[in-house]
Amino acid sequence: MRACRKLGVAFTAVYTAEDAASGHVRLAREEGGEKSLFRVSSYHDANELMAVADEAGCTAVHPGYGFFAEDFRFARRVTKRDRKLTFIGPSWKIIRELGDKINTKRLARSLGVPTVPGSDRPIYDEMEAERIAKSVFEFQEQQGIQRPLVLVKASAGGGGMGIEEVYDPDQFRSVYRRIRNYALRQFKDEGVLIEQRITDFNHLEVQIVSDRSGTNPVHFGTRNCSIQSTGLQKRIEVAPGFAPDELEYTFNAGRVLTDIVDYSLTMARKVGYDNVGTWEWIVTRKGDPFLMEVNTRIQVENGVSARISRVRGKEGVDLIAEQIRIGLGQPLGYTQAEIASEGVGIEYRLIAEDPDNNFTPWVGRIEHFQWKDQPWLAMLTHVPRNEPYEIPTEFDPNLALAIIWGKDLEEAKARGLEFLDSLRLEGQNGAGDPLKSNVGFLKANTGRILRF
């Protein structure tokens, strides 16, 4: 909504009953005019969303960070219905092509882009799956890996969903069946991928932006998202992805960053990528990069890349606004040579959860949520700052994104700890137990940011 205001574009927002106290509802009422806010029964009901779009007279749909953001069927419906709308995201054909991990892996391999070892297509046959798993186990044993394991994941999944690790070959069959059944229920596709699980790695991303011509993709640098929960959910994101001028690595970190950017742009050009997207990478301790997947959407962590980015020397890049602007058909308007980065950005995901108990979500009421405003801090939150807020149980208990900037890594880390130390986040559940959050986890892991 803020990006729309910057662009002078009218907006309509939706919310559910569970989200009635969310900050975005208040903002819509304050910033929008008539028909700026509609209540829906579910964010997953495409029919209801289309009805809202028609009633409000919308001309475009922004799918957000999740829900329908990578659903090519939804994107296709938006653009091909009788009252056509613009889908703010890549074209549905590109979402279909790159949203399939198998197609992505095949495309990457055809272009000489390194990918994670394992199957290069969905496996539906149990015996074939067992043969592939056996070969991956044997390969790791040959490499001297002490405790080899296989990664089993839903081919149509994403965001850490539908993934399990198997250490015991005798347990593979039951895990395969469980993931296959989960994939069928959740994604309507029981295809399963069998991959080598690289356990000692850093998780890097490349931020790509391209206009509707699909001919001139540019990048807004790299991010490191290696500090995660036990469920492989990101908790701290840092831009750029390594700090070769400040930290020592056992490999040429600068070269790795250059390589993954070049590989990502090569793929973007090949498919004619025409909006915002992220290429996700694994980098091993030896410095070998492997493409993991492509996210054909704007990601939650886009703000930390935007924070360190400059276009023609000007601060204040807004990648959401760029996504909307080029999604509506405007040309990119600048070249890679006109994009630069300055400093280091850290993004903390503040979540009501118990890191000491497998990051179990915490349910209850927030009574105090306050922080000290700083010129180097941006807080993005839907939680009211000075009034109680009941955390909805229908959604993950994400509370805020805190984006910190520093002129270098050490300053960014020092400022990050200053923010976390000054943060007041208090509440209790129905039994009177105090609020649990990941603030302590974020503090404890700030010291190892960008260290392998």
Per residue in 173-226, pLDDT tens? 999 999 999 999 988 899 999 988 777 789 999 999 999 999 999 999 999 999
Q: Which amino acid is at 326?
A: I
Task: Work out whether strand 218-228 and strand 234-239 pair parallel, antiparallel, or are unpaired.
Answer: antiparallel
The predicted-structure confidence for 434-443, as pLDDT tens digits, reads as follows: 999 999 999 9
Q: What per-residue confidence (pLDDT) applies to 53?
A: 97
Spell out the domains of the chain, with CATH numbers in brackets: 1-97 (3.40.50.20), 117-196 (3.30.1490.20), 201-447 (3.30.470.20)
Asked if residue 266 has pLDDT above 90, the reply is yes
Question: What pLDDT shows up at residue 119?
Answer: 84
Q: Exposed, middle or buried: residue 365 (CB in 10 Å: 0-12, 13-18, 19+)? A: middle
Mean pLDDT of the chain: 94
377 pLDDT above the threshold of 90: yes
Specify the pLDDT at position 290.
Answer: 92
- Nearest C-alpha neighbor of 224 from the set 210, 238, 214, 209: 238
Tell me what pLDDT residue 159 has: 66
Could you give the 3-state DSSP secondary structure of residue 72?
A: helix
Catalytic residue numbers read 297
CB neighbourhood size of 237 (10 A): 28
Q: In which order are the strands placed within the sheet that holds 150-154?
A: 163-166, 150-154, 192-196
Could you report the per-residue pLDDT of 401-417, keeping only the tens digit for each? 999 999 999 999 999 99
- Taking alpha carbons only, the member of 116, 161, 113, 106 closest to residue 136 is 116
Pair of tokens at residue 409: 């890594």
Proportion of the chain above pLDDT 90, given as a percent: 84
pLDDT digits (tens, 9 = 90+) for 88-114: 999 999 999 999 877 898 899 999 999
Cβ–Cβ < 8 Å for 147, 167: yes
Using alpha carbons, select from 341, 319, 365, 353 the residue that is nearest to residue 442: 353
User: Is this prediction's pTM over 0.75?
Assistant: yes
Q: Is 20 exposed, middle or buried (CB count within 10 Å of its CB: 0-12, 13-18, 19+)?
A: exposed
**Count of CA atoms in the C-beta half-sphere (13 A) of 433:** 8
Per-residue pLDDT reduced to its tens digit, 111-160: 999 987 778 788 999 999 999 999 889 878 876 778 899 999 998 876 67
Q: Are 452 and 249 in contact (CB under 8 A)?
A: yes
> Tens digits of per-residue pLDDT, 41-84?
999 999 999 999 999 999 999 999 988 999 999 999 999 999 99
Q: How confident is the model at residue 421 (pLDDT cuts 50, 70, 90)?
A: very high
Q: Look at residue 335 and tell me whether its pLDDT is greater than 90.
A: yes
- In the chain, % helix, strand, coil (3-state, to 5) comes to 35, 25, 40
Query: pLDDT-based confidence at 35, cuts 50/70/90?
Result: confident
